[in-house]
Structure 1
Amino acid sequence: MTLSTQDKKSLEEIHKLFLEIEKSWAHEASVAGESPKLSSLKAKILELKNSENPDVSRLADLRKHLTPEMTLKHFVSFGIPVERLLHKNLQDDDFLIVENDKEAAPEERLPLVFVLDNIRSAFNVGSIFRTAECLGAEKIYLCGYTPNPTQWKVEKTAMGTQEYLSWEESPRLLECLEELKDEGYRIVALETAASAVDLYEPFEVEATAFVLGNERFGLDPEILKVIDEVRIVPLRGRKNSLNVGVTAAIAGFEWMRQWRQKK
């Protein structure tokens, strides 16, 4: 049954309150008794009983379960039916991160950089920023038309990590790679090429630049001629490649695992 304009408006207001309370849970839970936001949420949920849509009106019963004694896990579960009626597709950046981030930067950055060439998806770029910062990588280079963190979709998915990680726009990939070579980096393409080496084989040197190309077309053939080696994530399924953000994460953490073993 299609939602009426009023039902949709009411559910959107309820969903917004659910997210606000979730993100301020530590504060809300410290308030003695029932907080004003929780009271407001319960009042709005009670109003749903007047809806002509049975899928909406039955949500009014959620009100009786929302008590000051409930846990965060229970609270979130009561919001799920509202999300589903609104067809919300939440991503990582919409969720509460319970544990506080570290205040200090890593004492030692890994001698690892990521070079992104013509990555079209802002979501993928933001995801790689988050991965690189969590790894303690040195830097990200953005080549071609790869979007940078000033674009809100990248910024949103990066979840603030762009503030802690060095990045630089380098329009021409070839020039970027040549400069990295001069600085002592081994250039490793993450690509499904016939000559690719299994990712889990030992890496020869510490300073490494992982190069990732366009999600659909990969890296240009002339670029593959100037890199030091090609690595591939071994797969067992029918598909021959992974999402570029997932590939960056797997490669980065395998590289870090080997680097730690050498220490």
Structure 2
Amino acid sequence: MPLLPRRFERLQSVLNHRMGDLTVVMEQVDKPHNLSAILRTCDAVGVLEAHVVSLPGRPRTFNNTAKGSQKWVPLQPHPSIEGCLQGLKDQGFRIYGTHLSVDAVDYRDCDFTGPSCFLMGAEKWGMSDEALALVDQPLFIPMTGMVQSLNVSVAAATLLFEALRQRERAGKVPSAGEGIPGGADAYQRILFEWAYPQVADWCRREGRPYPALTEEGEIAEDLPRTLKLRY
């Protein structure tokens, strides 16, 4: 079935607001509910992609909490937390991690308008020493209750929406796709994969470029009939 124009417009609108310079790293956050909830928040805020370092042999699964957000926010796996965080730092990201230490500051006093990464540690024991060594700024979320910690997905949502609030106030939220690293080519690639995932898979298997799209979102190329029946 061809993609409806209003659906294509919706995909464009969402992609236009995606931010490639705001991300989350989940270190051993393997519970399906938490993983799903964090990705759902990433989608709501406009995060382009997230990152994960899982326990060895632990599969990454999602539940209904995600509401399909894993289709719109790619979760990039990494073999080690050191390699993941150093790679992001090399790209200019500042790493923030929730950790109660003498150097920790109130999250509301931080500036998240530049390239920002929130490091979220495991549900029971928090971030590892290896991860903490690469954090640029530890921070805390003030609380007045008996329990001095939040569920990891709630903490991630608190930080992400504060980053969005700051960026909205500073006029730094993308509106026309300028937040996509790689420019127009990367934008068109992601848009095609969102619009026609089955065709994108076929193109990758065939080692061929994605077909062009019309302004209405139709594929401007004659594809095999068997492929047309799948989209």
TM range (shorter): 0.5 to 0.7
Choose which of 103, 106, 110 in structure 1 pairs with 2:10: 103
Tell me the CA shift for residue 122 of structure 1. Answer: 1.1
Question: What is the one-letter code of the residue matched to 1:260?
Answer: E
Render the CA deviation track for 1:13-52: whole Å, top value 9, x for unaligned. xxxxxxxxxxxxxxxxxxxxxxxxxxxxxxxxxxxxxxxx
Match of 1:139 among 36, 49, 57: 49
The one-letter code matched in structure 1 to 2:30 is R
Deviations 1:171-225 (A, max 9, x none): 2011000000111111111233342110111316511110001111001223212
Q: 1:129 aligns with which of 26, 34, 39?
A: 39
Pair 1:167–1:125, CA change in 2 (3 A): same
Range 243-252 or range 192-201, more displaced = 192-201
Q: Find the aligned partners of 1:144 and 1:120 in 2 and give their Cα distance.
A: 7
SS of equivalent residue, structure 2 residue 108: coil
Task: State the number of aligned residues.
Answer: 159
The CA distance in 1 between the partners of 2:104 and 2:168, in whole Å, is 24
State the Cα distance separating 1:141 from its structure 2 match: 0.5
- In structure 2, what is the Cα distance between the partners aligned to 1:204 and 1:126? 23
* In the alignment, structure 1 residue 207 sits paired with structure 2 residue 115: yes
Could you tell me which runs of 5 or more consecutive residues in structure 2 were left unpaired when the two chains were aligned. 1-6, 172-231
Residue in structure 1 matching 2:152, options 240, 244, 257: 244
Higher relative contact order (CA 8 A, sep 6+): 2
1:1-263 map, 5 Å: 103-104=10-11, 105-110=14-19, 111-145=21-55, 147-148=59-60, 151=61, 154-203=62-111, 205-263=113-171
**Secondary structure of 2:35 counterpart:** helix
Q: How far did residue 256 of structure 1 move?
A: 0.8
For residues 232 and 175 of structure 1, the distance between their equivalents in structure 2, rounded to whole angstroms, comes to: 25
Q: Distance in 2 between matches of 1:195 and 1:133?
A: 31
TM-score normalised to structure 1 length? 0.57
8 Å Cα contact 1:117/1:173 also seen in 2 = yes
Determine what percentage of the aligned residue pairs are the same residue.
28
CA deviations on 1:137-157 (whole Å, 9 max, x unpaired) are 121111022753xx2xx1422
**Contact conserved, 2:53 with 2:80, CA < 8 A, in 1?**
yes
Contact 1:129/1:158 (CA < 8 Å) preserved in 2? Answer: yes
- Cα separation, partners in 2 of 1:112 and 1:147, compared to 1, 3 Å: farther
Secondary structure class of the residue paired with 1:236: coil
User: In 2, Cα distance between the equivalents of 1:138 and 1:190?
Assistant: 22
Distance across 1 between alignment mates of 2:22 and 2:59: 21
CA RMSD of aligned residues (A): 1.9
